[in-house]
Amino acid sequence: MIKRVMQVSLAILITFALVLPAVAGTQKIGYANLQKALNECEAGRAAKESLQKKAEGLEADLNAKQEELKKMKAEIDSKRSIWNKETVNAKEELFVNKSRAFEAQFRAYNEEINSTKQAEEAAIIDEFAGIVEELAKKRGYTYVLERSLGGLLYASPDDDLTTEVIKIHNNRFSKRGR
């Protein structure tokens, strides 16, 4: 739904961009692929690497707990015939409770990873927006479109700001050590 609205909005914007030059003078349109910039800039790669390390740590914790649950289940299955009914019920209840806790922790870890990823990406993309605005003003662009949203079918490579956005962002990133 949102993607469709964005496509329609982009189509309207392009229509105005093509019609207005005849009325208002010359318009200059540029574009940038912010997804590509996010994947290739130093800050994006560093954020991805940091997130990967964090995810690996959380995964190791989950794997240990999952192994504990497997052992617990195997013990219940192997000793079911030896234990009395109360012991079996108590062990099964404990197993169910630990399984639910494991599932809740798994969901919490996934939410934590996703929210961290979204926050880091949003911060970098906000920085890109500032850089794009600077470049647009410097080069005299009236509009700068986002290429990776899928609404831009063709544009001259001369109007692609992506590489410059990456270079400027990397320069600023390395200077301040983000």
Which token pair is 84? 């009395």
pLDDT score at 4: 55
The alpha carbon of residue 59 and the mean position of all alpha carbons in its chain are separated, in whole angstroms, by 19
Q: How many domains does the chain have?
A: 1
DSSP state of 160: B
What are the DSSP E strand ranges found in 125-174?
143-146
**Single pTM value for the model:** 0.69
Q: pLDDT tens, position by position, for the chain (178 residues)?
A: 555 545 655 556 566 566 655 545 678 888 898 899 999 999 999 999 999 999 999 999 999 999 999 999 999 999 988 989 999 899 999 999 999 999 999 999 999 999 999 999 999 999 999 999 999 999 898 988 888 777 777 878 888 888 898 999 999 887 655 5
Q: What is the pLDDT of residue 120?
A: 92
* pLDDT at position 18: 64
Q: Which domain holds residue 71?
A: 2-176
